[in-house]
Structure 1
Amino acid sequence: MRKLTFTVPAEYGDAQLKGFLRHFCGVSARLLTDLKKEPLGITVNGAHATVRKILQVGDRVQLMLPEDSAAPEPVDLPLVPLYEDSDLLAVDKPTGMPVHPSFGHARDSLANAVAAYFQRKGESLAFRPIYRLDRDTTGVLVLAKNPYAAARLAQGISKVYLAVCEGVLEGSGTEDGPIERLPGHTIQRCVCRDGIRAVTHWRTLCHSQSHTLLAFRLETGRTHQIRVHMAHRGNPLAGDDLYGGSRIYIDRQALHCVQASFRHPVTGKDRCIIAPLPRDFCTLLEICGLQFPQNLSGDAREVDRFYEF
C-alpha cells in the first residue's frame, strides 16, 4: 500500500484540510472520496482527520492510497522496463501489441504483459497508462502505479515522436486540422471541418530524395493524429497502408515515441525517459538513406536539446 506524506507550508496555515489536499497536494475529487472511505486514509500528525479539519503550519498530513481491487489477466509476454519507482513504470512498447485487451486481443495486450510483470514482483496493480499508443506504434509508454500519480500526470507529459514519411519536407511546420472518424469506418480517421481540434508540430531532422525523418510534438491527443495529418498533407508515413503509405520497406507505420518528459507527480523532479529506436525503424532509415545520430539515446539532456522545437 502506497503512503504519501506532506508537510503543511505557511500559506496553508489555518486552511481546511480539504483545500490543502485538493490544491496543494493535487488530490482529485474521486481519489479524495475513496480516501475518506478508508479508516486511516487521511491522517494528520498520525490521527484520523476529516476534510473539515483546520490545519496548522508544520502539520504532517499522510495519505494511505487504497489497494487496487482488480488487475488485468497476467500473461507472460515480453516487456522492457525503461524506468520504475514506487509510483511509475515506463516501458518500451513493441510493435504489434495493443495497449488494452480487446476482441481478438484478449491475452496479448500490454495490459496483460504489465500484469504478469507486477505479479512476478508480488504486486497486484490496476493498469493505468497515462496515454495510448497505436498497436503498431513503438516507444515510451508511461503508466501510473496508483490513482494519485495518474491524476497528477494526466495533463503533464510532453512526448516526442519520430516518424519517416514519404516525400521530401524541409524546415518545420504545424498541421492544424480537425479530426473525426471517416464516414462509414470504425477505425480510419480523416481531417474534417466538423471534427475535433487537432494540432501537430513537426520538424525535419533529415531527408533523402524520397523520404523524410521528422520529429513531432502534439498539442492535442487525437486517435491516429500524426498519421492522419501527414496523410492529409500528402506525406503519409512509410508503412502506413491505412492512410496511403507504402509497406515496401517496413510492414507497419514508421512511428516511434522516442521521448517522454514530465515532472514526477510525487518528488517533483524532472524526468526524461528515452526509448531506443527499434530494429525495423533503424533498417528503414538505412534503406532510405536517412542519417540519424544513434548515440543520442544515452544522454537525456542531449536528446532534449536535439528535439527542441
Structure 2
Amino acid sequence: MKTQSNRFTLNFKVEEQVLLREFLHARGISKRTLTAVKYDGGQLLVNGTEQTVRHIVRAGDMVTVQFPKEQPSDGLTPESGALTILYEDEAILIIDKPAGQGTIPSRDHPAGTIANYIAGKFLEEKVPSTVHIVTRLDTDTSGLICIAKNRHIHHLLSEQIQKTGFYRNYLAFAEGHIAKDDFVIEQPIGRKDGSIIERIVCKNGQFARTDGKTIGHFEKNGSKYTLVSLELHTGRTHQIRVHMQWLGHPLVGDDLYGGTRNLVNRQALHCATIGFSHPLTGEELMFKSELPDDLKNLIQI
C-alpha cells in the first residue's frame, strides 16, 4: 500500500485464475468503490497495464488499484489545530478527543471540530483524501475516535462494525446504585417526536444493544452514582445515554436525558477502548485512553 500520483493505491498478488471483478470483490472492494475508480479518475492495473473488471487475472499477476483523489466535503473547512494522535498509518488515524470538542461541524459547532483539524492536517501533508469518521463521539463525550483515510478503508471498517467485529468500550458514571454486576440492554432506539436531537427507546426504533458491567459505587456531595463499563454492539445516536436513561440510571451530568450537573458539567461518558482488525493487514489492534481529570475526580472522593 502506498500513494502514487497523489492517489491512494493498493497492490495485490493473484494466486488463482479468476475475473478481476471477482478477485477485487473477494478483497472487500465494493461495487460502489469500483464505480468511483472507473468514473472519478482511478485506475485498475494488471502488471502495470490498465484493464477492465472483465479481465481474467492469473496466478502471479500483480493487481494495482489506484483510487481517485478525494475532495474535502462541502461545508468542511480545513483548519489548523491541535490533535492528540495515538496512532497513524497510511490507512487509519486514532484520535483521543477532549470533551467539549465536536467530531464534525454542526450548527452549534461549525468550526474547531476534529474533522476540521484533520482536514487541515490532510491538506498540509497532501493526503489525497477527505475525512472519513468511522466512530463518532458526541461533543461532550471524551475519548477515542477512529478515522479512515480513504472511502475504501471506511467501507471495510464499517463492515467490521456491522458484523460486531469492532470492539468499543466506554466508561461511564450513572446516577444511583446499580445493583447488578452485569446487565444487557437490548432496546430499540428512535428519534423523539418534535426533536431533532433527542432519541428515545421506542417500538419502531432501530435495534440497539449495550452490555454493562458494574465496576464500583460512590457517593459525593450527597449524590450516589455507579461507575460502569459499557460495550456497544450497535452504534445508534446517543445509544448509551438513552439506554441508561431507560434503565433508570441516567448518566451523571447528562441533563438532556435526566441527569443532573451537580458533580460534573457534561455527560460522564468516555470512550476508553477500541479494538479491531486492521482493514488491510488483518493485524489485531487495541487502543486505550485514560479517564480525563474531570471524570477521575468522581473516583477520587
Please give the per-residue CA displacement for 1:3-45, whole angstroms capped at 9, x wherever unaligned.
Answer: 2111112xxx22100011012x100111111222367611111
Contact 2:275/2:285 (<8 A) preserved: yes
Measured after TM superposition, the shift of residue 165 of structure 1 is: 0.5
Q: Distance in 2 between matches of 1:95 and 1:128?
A: 20
What secondary structure sits across from 1:5 in the alignment?
A: strand
SS in 1 for 2:228: strand
Length-normalised TM-score, structure 2: 0.89
Distance 1:168 1:77, change over 3 A: same
Does the Cα contact within 8 Å between 2:17 and 2:57 map onto a contact in 1?
yes
Aligned to 2:261: 247
- Alignment length, in residue pairs? 283
Identity %: 39
| Residue 80 of structure 1 pairs with residue 84 of structure 2 | yes
1:127-206 correspondence runs (5 A): 127-156=131-160, 157-169=166-178, 170-206=180-216
Matches of 1:132 and 1:40, distance apart in 2: 29
Match of 2:8 among 2, 5, 26: 2
2:61 is matched with which residue: 49, 59, 62? 59
Q: Would you say the 8 A contact 2:173–2:228 is kept in 1?
A: yes
Contact 2:201 2:242 in 1 (8 A): yes
Q: Return 5+ residue gaps in structure 1 as ranges.
A: 288-309
Distance 1:274 1:165 in 2: 21
Match of 2:4 in 1: none
Partners of 1:17 and 1:155 lie apart in 2 by 22
Q: 1:214 aligns with which of 207, 221, 228?
A: 228
Q: Which stretch shifts more, 219-228 or 178-187?
A: 178-187
Describe the superposition over 1:27-83 as per-residue Cα deviations: whole angstroms up to 9, x where unpaired.
Answer: 011111122236761111111111111111121111112111225312223311111
Q: CA RMSD in A?
A: 1.6
Change (3 A) 1:285 1:65: same
Structure 2 residue 43 is matched with structure 1 residue 37: no
**What CA distance in whole angstroms lies between the structure 2 residues aligned with 1:124 and 1:50?**
23
- Structure with the bigger percentage of helix: 1
Contact 1:82/1:275, CA 8 A, preserved across alignment: no
Give the superposition deviation at 1:254.
Answer: 0.6
Question: Which of 95, 117, 120 is residue 116 of structure 1 equivalent to?
Answer: 120
**1:285 CA displacement:** 2.1
User: In the alignment, residue 158 of structure 1 is paired with which amino acid?
Assistant: Y
SS in 2 for 1:159: strand
Q: Deviations over 1:215-274 (max 9, x none)?
A: 111121111111111111111101001111111111000111111111111111111111
1:152 is displaced (CA, Å) by 0.7
State whether structure 2 residue 111 is matched by structure 1 residue 101.
no
TM score, norm. by length of structure 1? 0.87
2:269 maps to amino acid:
L
Query: 1:305 corresponds to which residue?
Result: none
Query: Using the alignment, how far apart are the partners of 1:155 and 1:214 within structure 2?
Result: 28
CA distance in 2, matches of 1:236, 1:230: 5
Counterpart residue number, 2:93 = 89
